[in-house]
Structure 1
Amino acid sequence: MTLTSDTVSREFGSGCIILSAKSGAVTQFVDSSNPCRKFLLESGRQQWHSSAEHSWGSGHIITENSAGRWNVHSPLPGHSTEGLYSEFRPLPQLSLQITRSFGSSIVERFRFTNTSNAPLSIRGLGIQVPMADVYDDAETSLAENVNAHIFTGGSWSWAIAQPMSGRGNLLGLIVREGELWSYSLESRNQSNSSNIRGHFVLNVTDLAHNPASFGGQPEIKLLPNESYQLTWEIAWFDNISQFIAATKPPAEFSSFSARTESSILVLNSTIPPQTKSPHLQIERTSDGFALSSTKHGTYSVDIGNARTEVNFHLPLQELVRRRCHYILQYQRSLDREGLLSYAFVPVNTTTFLTQTTNGWSDWTDGSERIAMPVLLQLAAMRGWIDGPSIDPVLESWSSFARSHLLNENFMPRRGSQDNWSGPRLYDMPWLAQFFNDRYRWHGRSKDLDVAFKILERAFCLGVGGFLAIHLSETVLAVIKSLELAGQEDRSCQLSTQLVDCAMHFANMGDRIPRHEVNYEQSIVAPLLNLFIDAYTLTKREIFLSRLKQSLPWLLSFGGPQPHARLHGVSIRHWDGFWFGCNRQWGDVFPHYWSTLTSTVLLRMPRKLRTAETDRIAEAILRSNTANYQSDGSATCAFVMPSTVDGRAAHVEDPLANDQDWHLVMWLRLLDENIIQLD
């Protein structure tokens, strides 16, 4: 144990905890094998982090007629280097005792006691755990920051702080007594924007803010002198598997998302699963229980005091067909004149009113909305929708794109009304996809010419130093088309540029440049797809080596939560604000760009793929079907937390906007014969 003037350090397991010498409050956890890793936020490093309001173990309580907070950074009379015993009075009628004990792990207990002569109803109770899930530059993020994976399943609740590098010890928190029924985020607003995830609040209940979230929030009733106790254990773990075993799951699920009319098996459960939904069937089998549904949707499942969620989705072909019909019926701008009437735009699925741009670049008729004509074309090419009737619509969209999304030099605009921003490199591979697919469908050289010139212009604009989503896959597809068309010079040009781009990033190591966000999963996934495609073209070992080195970075974004919206799905926490009409920050689960991880895992060389990576890829593909309804409507963002800055969330944004890239990527994997249609 090391003592300084301000802090004390106490070892446990393979690391230590840093405590305030004055109050006993937790200020940091340190992994002895990597002392630079920051598992908790630090006020000196993150200026928006308040060590008082948001310190580890601080919290809030709401009753039927009062509310209060407690702050563990206040001087505590009972703390010592051997443990902690402290008392608070967050409300006049309620006392809180916090104890902490040390061993190979740390055990913290929060005991809430009704000290009044009348019954007390607790309707909100949350505890702060400020894990350092922030995006600095890539090099710093990989070396020092963590991804926080949270699962609040009642008595089956836990949280992991996992190094963003995917390597090194994990810090795990496991509930051993009591329940957590939801989580919230604080400090998530436009002041902090997209590079921070915010402050985490683990909720025993959030009934006061959002009664229906996470399958329903309980009311905690305490009689006079009665107590409620929450106990959790904090320890170091070598890997995810070791952590999951330590959580002692009440059951094992064969999967969390599945096609309708198939089954999800629940094994090793001594308690029969239960659900409040009449659409979810539960049947006992010889070795457990089988969950099934013929109705597309997500369903809460309880196993005793534990809860999770499963997802059943329409068969892919039927889901795509219904989505395409919805797009054609509701997401065209037929009120506008000329070619503008052929654009595809966001729509409010509650009112069916299309969303005008309003000067907001993520609501334009270009950029991410390009997914809609790409999806329609892929579906028509597969015969899933009627090609002869849809082709004139796509031909008109092609003319719209040439006139309003590209200038004469093939430089893109974010939309027909975007007259103020410069070219966006992200948009160029998406436009090239569309025109290459038209060539594949009709064999017209003019479409292939446009696809090539878009990519040629993209490299002139610097895309070779930018990890644009779908860049390498699109370049590889256009190379194949050029070769089949006998255009060897152009094919060689793009091949050289793609390999040069891959070599550029291979030489950069972990010094990945920032894009629209400092660092994120949708930067790492294009990097890995770039290495995959450069290896396909050249068989150079450097690309295979860099792929192996970087793969843990990608996998660390997705957690092992036993939940349909979370299992394997990468963290993303800003698109409700940028793409939705509710303009709400906070975790979006599942987010369609999480499907990029599936493309990497399934496109990797066969010698790198495993049964586990294939399983994760399938889980992500299926989980994203939760973003569509059975009528073909969709949401661009399901904001997961119960509340964000005190505002109720855990809700779908009404805007159908950019989510269709998930279906596009799934169809691409089918077209490349990487997976089979189930």
Structure 2
Amino acid sequence: MKKQILKTVYTLLCCIFLFIPVIQSKEKPLELQINPYTGAISGLKIPGDKQNMEWLVKTDGSQYAWIKEDYGWGLGYFTVDRDRKSLKREWYAPTEISRDGMDVVYREADIRIQIKRRFSEKDLIEQYTFTNEGKEEAFLHDIGIYTPFNDNYPNAKQCINERTHAHIWEGENAAYVNALRMGAFGPHLGMALTKGSVKSYEIWERGRKKANSQTRGIIALNPINLVLKPGESYSLQWNLFVHNGNEDFRRQLLERGSVIASCPKYIYEKGETIKMEVHSTRPLKKYSAQMNGVPVAVTPNKDSYIVKVPAGQAGKVRIDFFYDDGKQTHADLLIIDNEKELIRKRVDFIRTHQQMTDPKDPRFGAYMVYDNEGDSIYPNNTPNCNPVDRDEGAERVGMGVLLAKQYRLTKDKLLKTSLLNYAHFLREKLQTKDYVTYSSVDQTNRNRGYNYIWVADFYFQMYQATGNKLYAVHGYQTLQSMFRQFGYGFYAIGIPVQLGLQSLKKADMTKEYKKLLSDFVKTGDVFIKNGLNYPAHEVNYEQSIVAPAIQFLAQLYLVTKDNKYLDEVKRQMPVVEAFNGFQPSYHLNEVGIRHWDGHWFGKREMFGDTFPHYWSTITGAVYYYYALCTGDKSYMERAQNVVRNNLCLFFEDGRASCAYMYPYKINGIKAQFYDPYANDQDWALVYYLLVNHGI
């Protein structure tokens, strides 16, 4: 009721007279707009930004009708426990507010929340102080502070110029947000925690009727849980500042007294030596470290502190680093038994558990979605399911491509039998005589452009594995069907440029080779003409539109050696790199931001940050090809990190998960879980084999 009254009063006041102070000056690093009725920051811009970009989602309903003033920057919520009762409270109606909106006080359930804002020479500094004004001890948990970064997807042009990728690291006392403009050009916005601790974050306002896949939602940062005695206070402070890119952001983090943890890689095999390095520009006091709660040695080395420890039992590893009398940060790592064995187990599981073996079923030979909870193939015919993204074709073709690559490496006869059945299924059940390619055996819907690329990739892999020319013919004809129907402007994921041409050349299909090369050149010319004006596909703008374009152009350069393709690759590379963060976690490091796949492909059907999502490995392919084009070995190392971090989606018993839902909560529902469906994640292993074996 209180919130509704506030909204009504706010609407009436806006209709009569609305004065929102704009705090700006040539001397101030940021330009603020503050809502005088809520005390929240409702607008934030960088002075001198030629694009005049707004870094926050508008909270007046004009950008998204369901995003109103109660989601303003600095507002929030907590749950307080008293007398064996839990009560959720939200602060959005100030009891005190200064004329300029820089000092605001709220009171909820005997808790006083004071926000003090001030400018320094380079920063906007915000301090949040929680004080228990009651007579009893208060336990505050599930605390969230809204930070509505403008991370959403209207169209490519707006995204490039006026939207941000918010890379969040919930690293306790060393937490930060690196808000990169999607176009990768500065200025950018940074946030460094300078007091207090942030342990996680939440996502709000996601759903099919709330911009569907076109927005990341509203971000709320979660401070640590608090136990406050009567009269006791706890303060959290962060600095907002302008930066010019990742290296400048790192430098400025350290300037503000933070530390940065990093590892050369984040997934290790048993027996390897784990290494974590913590960087600081100042000497740290009383430093120590623990691995999964067990003390480990720390060695100081100039401006860093190094932890080295053997990788023991397979499983999650958290290395906590403690410093400066009570501060801490951490890195998230994963130990697996053996990378090669992990892939073998996964391939065997697909062959023995996920292939339809009932000859009476029209899907005989297909590789199917697997429900790990039900411990069985998902039949995809139950009421209220999402059959489109759980069918027997489309993304599931990745299982076939993976097994074909594995067969090329191992010549396992059991794999060959499975693959021959699968190839027959694709050609006879998902394709027409003239190679129109569907996602399901009924051939009534979902004639997607992506289908052709993935099925052609499978056929070319089968040709390389078996030498049977018919597979090269099938691959060529499948691509020709795609070009006939979709033209030369479709930004398909994983167009097999080199593999396709090499296969046709090897099969002495000279005429077809020339035709396919001509088709690829026409496609490349369209991609160059479009440049950064990426067309919308199934999502308005995403990593898997940008990365496939660069992957394609890099392969075309390797085939033709025409510098116009490499020049365009270099121009577009920063845009795909901007999707990736450098946080010290196998879930986040070099993993592209994606936040809708768990809904469409997972059993829980949950929107929200999906880290990692297997399509992040397309960026690994981009880095791989870029290294081949330029000789820059650093990109090969980055490619290996991308595909290695995605190994967390695969388990030691051969099972897999299509999505890890990373935030603490999404729409108030607990996340931080692997979805029970093994669906389409095997593309991660397809690209792992590309990066590590060149196939």
Match of 2:389 among 350, 353, 362: 362
How many Å apart are 1:433 and its aligned residue? 1.4
In 2, Cα distance between equivalents of 1:575 and 1:263: 34
User: What are the within-5 Å matches in structure 2 for residues 68-83 of structure 1?
Assistant: 68-71=89-92, 74=93, 77-81=96-100
1:329 corresponds to 2:347: no
In 2, Cα distance between equivalents of 1:132 and 1:94: 30
1:38 corresponds to 2:57: no
In 1, Cα distance between equivalents of 2:278 and 2:64: 47
Match for 2:667: what amino acid?
D
In 2, Cα distance between equivalents of 1:526 and 1:395: 29
1:449 corresponds to 2:473: yes
In 2, Cα distance between equivalents of 1:224 and 1:21: 30
Match for 1:231: what amino acid?
Q
Match of 1:296 among 304, 311, 314: 314
1:347 corresponds to 2:370: yes
User: What are the within-5 Å matches in structure 2 for residues 384-403 of structure 1?
Assistant: 387-403=412-428
In 2, Cα distance between equivalents of 1:563 and 1:573: 17
1:486 corresponds to 2:508: yes
1:433 corresponds to 2:451: no
- Equivalent residue pairs, number: 646
How many Å apart are 1:299 and its aligned residue? 2.1
Provide the residue aligned with 2:212 in structure 1: 193
Is 1:130–1:199's contact at 8 Å kept on the other side of the alignment?
yes
- Residues 227, 336 of structure 1: CA spacing in aligned structure 2 closer, same or farther, 3 A cutoff? farther
Match of 1:469 among 490, 493, 499: 493
1:381 corresponds to 2:404: no
In 1, Cα distance between equivalents of 2:455 and 2:262: 43
How many Å apart are 1:9 and its aligned residue? 2.9
In 1, Cα distance between equivalents of 2:693 and 2:449: 25
Is 1:296–1:629's contact at 8 Å kept on the other side of the alignment?
no
Question: Mean alpha-carbon deviation: is it higher for 516-525 or for 540-549?
Answer: 540-549
- Residues 487, 580 of structure 1: CA spacing in aligned structure 2 closer, same or farther, 3 A cutoff? same
Identity of matched residues, %: 26
Higher RCO, Cα 8 Å, sep 6+? 1
Match for 2:398: what amino acid?
A
Is 1:28–1:38's contact at 8 Å kept on the other side of the alignment?
yes
User: What are the within-5 Å matches in structure 2 for residues 213-232 of structure 1?
Assistant: 219-232=225-238
Match for 2:422: what amino acid?
W
1:318 corresponds to 2:318: no
In 2, Cα distance between equivalents of 1:345 and 1:607: 37
Match of 2:44 among 21, 29, 35: 29
1:412 corresponds to 2:437: yes
- Residues 97, 319 of structure 1: CA spacing in aligned structure 2 closer, same or farther, 3 A cutoff? same
- Residues 165, 538 of structure 1: CA spacing in aligned structure 2 closer, same or farther, 3 A cutoff? same
Query: Deviations along 1:11-60, whole A, 9 cap, x unmatched?
Result: 46554223346665312221222343221111454224524111000000
1:58 corresponds to 2:87: no
Provide the residue aligned with 1:212 in structure 2: none
- Residues 194, 291 of structure 1: CA spacing in aligned structure 2 closer, same or farther, 3 A cutoff? farther
Provide the residue aligned with 1:121 in structure 2: 139
Q: TM-score, normalised by structure 1?
A: 0.91
Is 1:57–1:129's contact at 8 Å kept on the other side of the alignment?
yes
Is 2:98–2:104's contact at 8 Å kept on the other side of the alignment?
yes
How many Å apart are 1:409 and its aligned residue? 1.2
Query: Deviations along 1:119-158, whole A, 9 cap, x unmatched?
Result: 1111221100000100111111111111111111211211
Query: Deviations along 1:545-584, whole A, 9 cap, x unmatched?
Result: 2111111110000112122210111000011111110111
In 1, Cα distance between equivalents of 2:631 and 2:124: 37
Give structure 2 stretches of 5+ with no counterpart: 1-17, 280-285, 323-327
How many Å apart are 1:619 and its aligned residue? 1.7
SS in 1 for 2:553: helix
Provide the residue aligned with 2:10 in structure 1: none
Query: Deviations along 1:96-126, whole A, 9 cap, x unmatched?
Result: 1111011220111111111111111112211
SS in 2 for 1:274: strand
In 2, Cα distance between equivalents of 1:434 and 1:607: 25
SS in 2 for 1:340: coil
Provide the residue aligned with 1:211 in structure 2: none
Is 1:184–1:200's contact at 8 Å kept on the other side of the alignment?
yes
- Residues 150, 297 of structure 1: CA spacing in aligned structure 2 closer, same or farther, 3 A cutoff? same
How many Å apart are 1:330 and its aligned residue? 1.8
Over the aligned positions, Cα root-mean-square deviation in angstroms equals: 2.2
Question: Mean alpha-carbon deviation: is it higher for 174-183 or for 343-352?
Answer: 343-352
1:102 corresponds to 2:119: yes
1:245 corresponds to 2:251: yes
Match for 1:367: what amino acid?
A
SS in 2 for 1:53: helix
Is 2:655–2:678's contact at 8 Å kept on the other side of the alignment?
yes
How many Å apart are 1:250 and its aligned residue? 5.5
Match for 1:94: what amino acid?
I
SS in 1 for 2:97: coil
How many Å apart are 1:184 and its aligned residue? 0.3
Is 1:101–1:107's contact at 8 Å kept on the other side of the alignment?
yes
In 1, Cα distance between equivalents of 2:330 and 2:684: 27
SS in 1 for 2:347: helix
Is 1:495–1:537's contact at 8 Å kept on the other side of the alignment?
no
- Residues 538, 276 of structure 1: CA spacing in aligned structure 2 closer, same or farther, 3 A cutoff? closer
Match for 1:262: what amino acid?
E
How many Å apart are 1:282 and its aligned residue? 4.4
How many Å apart are 1:283 and its aligned residue? 5.2
Provide the residue aligned with 1:546 in structure 2: 568
Is 1:59–1:128's contact at 8 Å kept on the other side of the alignment?
yes
- Residues 159, 336 of structure 1: CA spacing in aligned structure 2 closer, same or farther, 3 A cutoff? farther
SS in 1 for 2:589: coil
SS in 2 for 1:412: coil
In 2, Cα distance between equivalents of 1:400 and 1:606: 35
Match for 1:236: what amino acid?
V
Query: Deviations along 1:610-652, whole A, 9 cap, x unmatched?
Result: 4543332222111101111111111100000111101110111
In 2, Cα distance between equivalents of 1:607 and 1:362: 35
- Residues 337, 203 of structure 1: CA spacing in aligned structure 2 closer, same or farther, 3 A cutoff? same
SS in 2 for 1:124: strand
Is 2:640–2:692's contact at 8 Å kept on the other side of the alignment?
no
Is 1:297–1:629's contact at 8 Å kept on the other side of the alignment?
no
Is 1:559–1:569's contact at 8 Å kept on the other side of the alignment?
yes
Is 1:602–1:609's contact at 8 Å kept on the other side of the alignment?
no
SS in 2 for 1:457: helix
Question: Mean alpha-carbon deviation: is it higher for 508-517 or for 295-304?
Answer: 295-304
User: What are the within-5 Å matches in structure 2 for residues 499-538 of structure 1?
Assistant: 499-538=521-560
1:168 corresponds to 2:186: yes
Is 1:250–1:303's contact at 8 Å kept on the other side of the alignment?
no
In 1, Cα distance between equivalents of 2:521 and 2:137: 70
Match for 1:195: what amino acid?
Q
Is 1:581–1:654's contact at 8 Å kept on the other side of the alignment?
yes
Match of 1:179 among 197, 206, 218: 197
Provide the residue aligned with 1:628 in structure 2: 650
Provide the residue aligned with 2:283 in structure 1: none
